[in-house]
Amino acid sequence: MVGSQCWQAIPVKLSEQQLEEFVLPYLTLGKRGPAPKLSLYKLFGYALQLLYMGCQWKMLPIERDANGRPEIHHTRIYRALRRWQADGCIDAIFAGSVRRLHEDKLLELEVIHGDGTTTAAKKGGDNLGYSGHKHLKGDKVLAFCDRACNVIAPFISAPGNRNESPLLRDALPRVTHMARAIGMDLQGATVSLDGVYDCRANRKAIFNRGMIPNIPENVRGRTTPKRGRKRHFDAAIFEERFRTIERVFAWEDTH
């Protein structure tokens, strides 16, 4: 069980030194047209600021030059971000950060915590659905993190009306793909999930990847216990979720 830790704030912006070390090696430049007037540090910083604020592109606060004009138009930032997404730069940045954590031995992969969360979309958007359980319209993501709150695989996104349980079978291949890409060893690791993922298909998918499921049995209104041998469940490991994956979702909700 994880002991008490002195948590630090999860960052929402990067310094210029951090960008040069973790982001700049993976960003691509356009092959045609004029060179950008601003540095990549400025462009990427504006993109992060928009994701954090959640505002419309035209409402993004942009600094002004000596003549009192905006130093760049918001459409130039939008096009740069779209190009980086199309070129796979964002995925490469994420994989590079996980690889760096693994090389520095900062990942605690004995236990992997997973869960889903639904985020409300009050202004509309793509990939939305009405969640009858949460009574809101939004989208849903499924994420995995280690004991130190490090996200180790890309989020799985779905409309808010989708059931979380089948999404696990789509998310697990991303975890194993990331492990193979950076050399992580997940054999024998415990995958801790809540009762909504309690089904034979999910347990089998975890077992087939050499990991151990830690899922409480979901009685679903049953009056008699399930047949067969009792499923493995460690309540102490399950309680860690409130200091790990739930904290990750608190950070995710700020974006």
11 backbone dihedrals φ, ψ, rounded to 5°: -70, 150
Q: Is residue 41 part of a domain?
A: yes
Q: What is the CA radius of gyration of the chain?
A: 21
Last residue of a domain, one of 31, 55, 87: 87
Whether residue 62 sits in one domain with residue 114: no
Whether residue 189 sits in one domain with residue 154: yes
* Alpha-carbon distances of 206 from 57, 172, 180, 212, 248, rounded to whole Å: 41, 8, 16, 6, 22
DSSP SS3 for 238: helix
Q: What is the CATH number of the domain that holds 204?
A: 3.30.420
DSSP at 90:
H
Query: What is the pLDDT at residue 1?
Result: 44
Q: Domain of 57?
A: 16-87
* Alpha-carbon distances of 20 from 24, 119, 210, rounded to whole Å: 5, 32, 37
Whether residue 73 sits in one domain with residue 118: no
- pLDDT per position as a tens digit, 204-223: 999 999 999 999 988 777 77
**Residue with structure tokens 């959640």?**
54
What is the pLDDT confidence band of residue 12, given thresholds at 50, 70 and 90?
low
Work out the number of other CB atoms within 10 angstroms of the CB of residue 74. Answer: 17
Q: Is residue 99 part of a domain?
A: no
- pLDDT per position as a tens digit, 80-118: 999 999 999 999 999 999 999 999 999 999 999 999 988
Q: Is residue 1 part of a domain?
A: no
Q: Which two tokens stand for residue 136?
A: 């809101």
Gap between the Cα atoms of 160 and 120, Å rounded: 9
Gap between the Cα atoms of 97 and 89, Å rounded: 12
Max distance between CA atoms of the chain, in angstroms, equals: 76
Whether residue 233 sits in one domain with residue 163: yes
Q: Which two tokens stand for residue 169?
A: 């079978």
Number of domains present in the structure of the chain:
2
What is the pLDDT confidence band of residue 5, given thresholds at 50, 70 and 90?
low
Q: Is residue 210 part of a domain?
A: yes
For residue 13, pLDDT beyond 60: yes
- Name which residue leads in pLDDT, 226 or 205: 205
Average pLDDT of the residues of the chain:
87
The four Cα atoms 25, 30, 33, 36 give a dihedral, to 10 degrees, of: -40
Gap between the Cα atoms of 117 and 237, Å rounded: 20
Contact 22, 96 (CB under 8 A): yes
Query: What is the pLDDT at residue 113?
Result: 96
